[in-house]
Amino acid sequence: MLFDPFQIKGLQFKNRVMRSSIGGRTSYYDGTVTSAFKNFEKRFAEHDLAGIISATISVNNDRTSPMEYPKISDDRYVKPLASAIRAVHQYDCRYIIQIGDTGGATHTSLLSQKGDAKSSSTLFDLFYGYHNLHEAMSLEEIDITINEFAEAARRVRETGADGLEITASKGYIIHQFLNPGINRRKDKYGGSADNRFRLLEEIIIAARKKVGDDFPIGIRLSAAGYNYQPLNLRLPPRWPLNHWYFGNTIEDNLYFAGKLKGLGIDYLHIDKGYGFPNPKGTPGSFPVHEMKMFYNSNRHLSTKAWMRSIVFNSIPEFLLSPIANIGWGYVPAISADDARRFKEATGLPIISNGGYQDRKEMEETLEQGKADMLAMARPLLANVDLLHQFKAGKSSPDRPCSHCNKCLVRTANYPLGCYDQTRFISQDAMEQQIMEWSADSEQ
């Protein structure tokens, strides 16, 4: 089934494998995509993928995280994105733009900005974001955010993209409203499940008005929150404590999925966990050394960021690593069983994300009806020709992704590529691969 075609709302995919959201520093400082962005995306399209889901492209003009990531917060960003999408389309590869807003989870900034703290509620979150406290959005700010998503949706269609995906996952602003452990509001956007869903509902309604009924809209949704992973300190505690500890359960998100179907959503893209990175959404190791480098780069932004850097630099890595890796580990097809529940509950096309690299595992997920399509990023960054290797008869790549997760953190400060030196014959070979990723292969 892996190489069977599939269709979502009239959009034909030549097989069942998509590259999921992944991105690097391939834009100008103002968020305009460059030729490096185009060449990076084209490299995947050249290797038989059915489709590409973009990095989360920011709908907010001020909150972009990390820097040199793309924006779609103004009409001037449309033309450069359209050029990149045309390059992808040359290879019969569909392109879906994922839009979002990091909100209080904004990772870094040139200088500290008050807007980077905006969230559903005021709270302390040690792991996500750089501000000392997330700060609750006002009703006026929520209205502005809804309009930003709607205008971004319009621009997505104007780029010539094949569809729109709104991220309600990754711990970004919509997820901060959906999650009961994060959302402590007392107004119409907090409290009950329906109230916590209200922001996403209003964004979808506004976006649909902008793009029309014929344009595919999907939602990236977490199957469950798992707030307790990764190890974090989030204060004050939230009562009932199970909301603070677990976040949304799969039953909560199945309820949201039913409401999404009622709103006319065309597919669901299912992952797991709260925040980015997290051990459910990015199964594998916690990259302690890379996280230390990242914390060192933004320690000037707040007291919290400074203290995180102090802690990570003060404790030897051989002691810190086992603590930081609590709950982490690679789990194949980690979201497959949850994806099936969403498929059975809604009847919507389902994309399952997380822990795919072995062909047998992928085929079984599709054949057993757990998902209709599969999305991956790290394994394709490690082996962009993965589908070619499968077609040649291999069940797994010659040099599989080790799921070390170094690439996830390095991308905030360095070029995106595979940083697991054990996969290369030398450091020079690794660095050459990294520097070639965004080069034009047709030169």
Q: Report yes or no on 381 lying in a domain.
A: yes
Instruction: Give domain status of residue 145, yes or no.
Output: yes
Range of the domain at 14: 6-110+139-283+331-436
pLDDT digits (tens, 9 = 90+) for 346-404: 999 999 999 999 999 999 999 999 999 999 999 999 999 999 999 999 999 999 999 99
Q: In the prediction, which pLDDT does 440 show?
A: 83
50 located within any domain = yes
Residue 261 pLDDT > 70: yes
pLDDT in tens, 135-182: 999 999 999 999 999 999 999 999 999 999 999 999 999 999 999 999
Average pLDDT over residues 414-421: 95
Distance, in Å, from the CA atom of 79 to the CA atom of 349, rounded to the nearest integer, reads 30
User: DSSP secondary-structure letter at 277?
Assistant: S
Longest dimension (CA), the chain: 59
H or E element in which residue 100 lies: strand 94-100
Report the CATH number at residue 430: 3.20.20.70
Rounded to an integer, what distance in angstroms lies between the CA atom of residue 200 and that of residue 205?
Answer: 9
Q: H or E element: which one contains 359?
A: helix 359-367
| Percent of the chain topping pLDDT 90 | 96
- Residue-wise pLDDT for 211-259, tens only, equals 999 999 999 999 999 999 999 999 999 999 999 999 999 999 999 999 9
Extract the tokens encoding 416: 């995106």
pLDDT tops 80 at residue 65: no
Residue 121 has, within 13 A of its CA and on its CB side, a CA count of: 26
Instruction: Give 315's pLDDT tier (boundaries 50, 70, 90).
Output: very high
Q: Helix 336-346 and helix 250-262: axis angle, to 10°?
A: 40
Q: What is the pLDDT of residue 66?
A: 84
- Is residue 308 one of the residues assigned to a domain? no
Q: In this structure, is residue 134 part of a structural domain?
A: no
Closest CA to 43 of 72, 22, 13: 22
Does 117 map to a domain? no
Among residues 408, 397, 407, which one has the least CA distance to residue 357?
397
Residue 217 host element (H or E):
strand 217-222
Rounded average pLDDT over 335-348: 98
* Mean pLDDT value of segment 56-77: 93
Question: What integer pLDDT is reported at residue 443 of this predicted model?
Answer: 58
pTM over 0.95: yes
What local confidence, expressed as pLDDT, does residue 102 receive? 96
- Distance between CA atoms of 172 and 63, rounded to whole angstroms? 11
* Domain membership flag for residue 363: yes
Average pLDDT, integer, range 190-200: 98
Mean pLDDT score of the chain: 96
pLDDT > 70? residue 33: yes
Q: Give the pLDDT of residue 64.
A: 79
In a domain, 203, yes or no: yes
Show Cβ contacts of residue 311 under 8 Å, excluding neighbours closer than 6 positions. Answer: none
- Looking at residue 441, what is its pLDDT? 72
DSSP conformation class of 352: E
Question: In the chain, how many domains are there?
Answer: 1
